Chains A and B, each alone.
Chain A
């Protein structure tokens, strides 16, 4: 943790707050429709599958699979300048939703599409824990 974290932080609002509170508690929380049981991401007030308005937040397995990745060699934000080149991955969770994130401690040459990963909770500030992944 650091009070000089200069990278962009996710906007946490009333809708997605349970996701980020879950991350701080070491849980990958997803919103699930109480009418059709579909998980969804990002958070929304109604279900994109059935338009149902009732939902609950559930702790999930945190398990997923790498769907794709890319490697940033250019720092579009000055705060990433010390990190380039760094990789961004897209992970498909067992529950079906997909997230953009990063892998922890995996060099680029070992990233493979289809590799199984699990959530890793990275407290980057006192208030925000990012959801990254490990093999």
Chain B
């Protein structure tokens, strides 16, 4: 079986503006991002023959309406709904489709108007969180566990009790990402964040304070995926998809906790993960020291600690200390979410970080450039990952 490693590439990226209460509709923001991505790749709309959309009910439109609205004629489509779980899933499906010949050029489209629809992010309008009295993040509304933040908070509280981690240590995550956001022209947050600001801010769901919870914003992002061979003929340097692995599921998993922390129905036992537990590294032909930057879906700051442990960057219970002293900041050992992530740049379903990875590997980001970035990884604490390489 031939490996898909480096057979496909991101050939173009585009985005709309990001921000709160944008006047434009989700679909219009998406059109702007698609147009920018086509320009970036040097392609025409007619070249797009596949769609992988990371939007859809309850937060948007389906693939058929998107194709119709953008004047596309596609022969392959995949659709996930707008949930953090599905960032690399949508990207991986695009890569697999072009590698298998089901499409030549796939547009991955995410468009979000969270500020118009914030009532569905927890509360009576959150049908996902109310289904069967048990939502994805542990939502159990009759007992007041009424929002995704609750699942992350209950995991962090247990992690703190087990390992002695503190809110002050956790603050290193949003502080790092805020520094990165200040270097991103697209960022929503424009002011520095100090430890005192973090500790003074109101609790949202204890132990998570305001700045441990991501932004609620609007915006759109598009990434165009094609074969490596075809990408070489396009306008920009292709960014190869070097490795990937799927999200993990089963009773050992709870979306906002490392495996076996003991949340929801997880059996509790401590487990050290290594690169060998994550086939993404072998597929990309790299090890942990080869990764020049790590990106993750930072809906809540504990997720950064959990992804570091799950992918073997540090041992169970070590991450809160590991992230101190600038280690995850630009210039540190493992810069993370270098444009500010969901916590400080914008919540574009995580795709703002995919775009940032492409720009980093092309060497386009000026003051926030990771020098000589060769391999960047997107991973989540629920286990999926993509490693992007540098074609040079």
- Chain A residues within 8 Å of B, Cβ to Cβ: 7-11, 41-42, 48, 67-74, 76-78, 80, 83, 85-86, 88, 90, 92, 97-98, 100-102, 108, 113, 128, 130, 132
CB < 8 Å neighbour of B132 from A7, A11, A97: A11
Asked whether B143 lies within 8 Å of A85 as measured between CB atoms, the reply is: no
Contacts of B202 on A, CB cut-off 8 Å? 73
Contacts of B161 on A, CB cut-off 8 Å? 68, 113
In the assembled complex, the Cα of A97 lies from the Cα of B251 at a distance in Å of 12
In the assembled complex, the Cα of A80 lies from the Cα of B142 at a distance in Å of 10
In the assembled complex, the Cα of A100 lies from the Cα of B150 at a distance in Å of 11
CB < 8 Å neighbour of A11 from B133, B262, B265: B133
Asked whether A85 lies within 8 Å of B206 as measured between CB atoms, the reply is: yes
Closest to B122 in A: A76
Asked whether B130 lies within 8 Å of A100 as measured between CB atoms, the reply is: no
Asked whether B205 lies within 8 Å of A70 as measured between CB atoms, the reply is: yes
Nearest CB in chain A: distance from B162 CB, A: 8
In the assembled complex, the Cα of A88 lies from the Cα of B147 at a distance in Å of 12
In the assembled complex, the Cα of A14 lies from the Cα of B390 at a distance in Å of 55
Q: A130 and B142 in contact (CB under 8 A), knowing A8-B124, A69-B157, A70-B157?
A: yes
In the assembled complex, the Cα of A132 lies from the Cα of B154 at a distance in Å of 17
Residues of B257-287 whose CB lies within 8 A of A: 262-265, 268
Asked whether B204 lies within 8 Å of A100 as measured between CB atoms, the reply is: no
- Chain B residues within 8 Å of A, Cβ to Cβ: 122-124, 126, 130, 132-134, 138, 140-147, 149-150, 153-158, 161, 202-208, 251, 262-265, 268
Asked whether B204 lies within 8 Å of A8 as measured between CB atoms, the reply is: no
In the assembled complex, the Cα of A108 lies from the Cα of B263 at a distance in Å of 19
Question: Chain B CB within 10 Å — which of A41, A70, A108 has the most?
Answer: A70
Closest to A96 in B: B267
CB < 8 Å neighbour of A97 from B156, B204, B265: B265
Q: A73 and B206 in contact (CB under 8 A), knowing A98-B265, A113-B158?
A: yes
CB < 8 Å neighbour of B153 from A9, A67, A70: A70
Nearest CB in chain B: distance from A16 CB, A: 8
CB < 8 Å neighbour of A77 from B133, B141, B268: B141
Contacts of A86 on B, CB cut-off 8 Å? 144
Contacts of A92 on B, CB cut-off 8 Å? 262
Contacts of B155 on A, CB cut-off 8 Å? 68
Asked whether A68 lies within 8 Å of B157 as measured between CB atoms, the reply is: yes
Can you give 16 contacting A-B residue pairs, CB < 8 Å? A7-B142, A7-B144, A9-B142, A10-B142, A42-B133, A67-B158, A67-B268, A68-B157, A68-B262, A70-B157, A71-B205, A74-B204, A101-B140, A102-B144, A113-B157, A130-B142
CB < 8 Å neighbour of A76 from B123, B208, B264: B123
Contacts of B156 on A, CB cut-off 8 Å? 70
Contacts of A113 on B, CB cut-off 8 Å? 157-158, 161
Contacts of B133 on A, CB cut-off 8 Å? 10-11, 42
In the assembled complex, the Cα of A126 lies from the Cα of B276 at a distance in Å of 55
Asked whether A74 lies within 8 Å of B205 as measured between CB atoms, the reply is: yes
Asked whether B205 lies within 8 Å of A72 as measured between CB atoms, the reply is: yes
In the assembled complex, the Cα of A88 lies from the Cα of B205 at a distance in Å of 10
Asked whether A8 lies within 8 Å of B141 as measured between CB atoms, the reply is: yes
Nearest CB in chain B: distance from A80 CB, A: 6
Contacts of B126 on A, CB cut-off 8 Å? 76
In the assembled complex, the Cα of A79 lies from the Cα of B304 at a distance in Å of 32
CB < 8 Å neighbour of A100 from B123, B138, B147, B158: B138
Asked whether B122 lies within 8 Å of A69 as measured between CB atoms, the reply is: no
Contacts of B149 on A, CB cut-off 8 Å? 74
Q: A71 and B206 in contact (CB under 8 A), knowing A10-B142, A80-B144, A88-B143?
A: yes
